[in-house]
Amino acid sequence: MSEWLKEHAWKACIVKAIQGSNPCPSASFISAREHVPSDHKTRCGWIGAKSTPLDIEYHDKEWGVPVHDDTKLFEFLILEGAQAGLSWQTILNKRENYRKALHNFDVKKIARYGEKDIERLLKNEGIVRNRLKILATITNARMFLEVQKEFGSFDKYLWGFVGGKPIKNGFTSMKQVPASTKESDAMSKDLKKRGFKFVGSTICYAYMQAMGLTNDHTTNCFRYK
């Protein structure tokens, strides 16, 4: 299946999941109704009855917080790509395994990975053992270094797509949150042109949300500022 078809199939999956008409892998994660844990704080609708303490901690402390550290920007570029076709909950549960398997996301080391490393990763049950995604991790590390060389930092390059400051939305429901935007379209187009893999517009928008380039916490969420 081409990358375009994969991207649009996943986007359709998200829309149907929100509408409650599609049992795709992440449907329960996306369409879960708002859940109030024992602390009684109101959170975004993607924190639901099936959310784990890890999900809640991620929502409360990381999701939507502006990130300017290149190492963390690289980490999430890889994790968002690994998520394609899966739920974020699945990737979040494997996050520590990824850190161990990928030398704590040391981009320079990963850029030098060879066939032995590829085989090692394919045998690692703690991560997503998909050859294309593993190869993309190495390719993206190399391209990441090229961007750093050109712009001085990946941070400077990335934040240029939003004019250097977060886009603050005012969504009242997760149903209003788009799967992609003109900014994610532009990011995706440029990343692909530079040779990055698994960077379709939907993936880029999820990346923007995670790294705080856009604030998509709903207005009733205690994290909305």
**Percent above pLDDT 90 for the chain:** 80
Under 8 Å between Cβ of 86 and 110: no
pLDDT of residue 33: 37
Alpha helices for the chain (secondary structure H)? 3-19, 27-31, 53-61, 70-83, 88-101, 107-111, 115-122, 131-151, 154-159, 182-193, 201-210
Mean pLDDT confidence for 114-139: 98
- In which band, very low, low, confident or very high, does the pLDDT at 49 lie, cut at 50, 70 and 90? confident
Rounded distance, CA 159 to CA 5, Å?
28
Sign of CA dihedral 143, 94, 48, 42: negative
14 pLDDT higher than 60: no
3-215: in CATH 3.50.50.60: no
Question: How do residues 51-108 score in pLDDT, each as one tens digit?
Answer: 999 999 999 999 999 999 999 999 999 999 999 999 999 999 999 999 999 999 999 9
Taking phi over 0 as left and psi of -120 to 50 as alpha, with beta for the rest, 127 belongs to: beta
With pLDDT > 70 as the criterion, what percentage of the chain qualifies?
83
Active-site residue, 80 included: yes
Identity of the residue numbered 139: T
Catalytic residue among 63, 80, 113, 205: 80
pLDDT, residue 39, reads: 81
Q: Which residues contact 182 (CB under 8 A, 6 or more apart)?
A: none
Burial zone of 10 (CB within 10 Å; 0-12 exposed, 13-18 middle, 19+ buried): buried
pLDDT in the model for residue 28: 34
Position 140 scores a pLDDT of 98
- Per-domain residue ranges of the chain: 3-215
Answer yes or no: are the C-beta atoms of 191 and 183 closer than 8 Å.
no
Q: How do residues 129-143 score in pLDDT, each as one tens digit?
A: 999 999 999 999 999
Closest CA to 184 of 157, 213, 164: 213
pLDDT at 38: 65
| Average pLDDT value for the chain | 88
Candidates 169, 172, 154, 173; CA nearest to 205 is 169
Residue of 10, 46, 58, 224 with catalytic role? 58
Structure tokens at 131: 């050859």
Q: What is the per-residue pLDDT for 7? A: 42
pLDDT tens-digit profile of 169-185? 999 999 999 999 999 99
CA of 170: how far to CAs of 61, 138, 173, 196, 220, in Å? 20, 37, 9, 31, 10
DSSP 214: E
Q: Which of 46, 63, 88, 205 is catalytic?
A: 88
Contact 78, 105 (CB under 8 A): yes
Of 194 and 1, the structure prediction assigns the larger pLDDT to 194
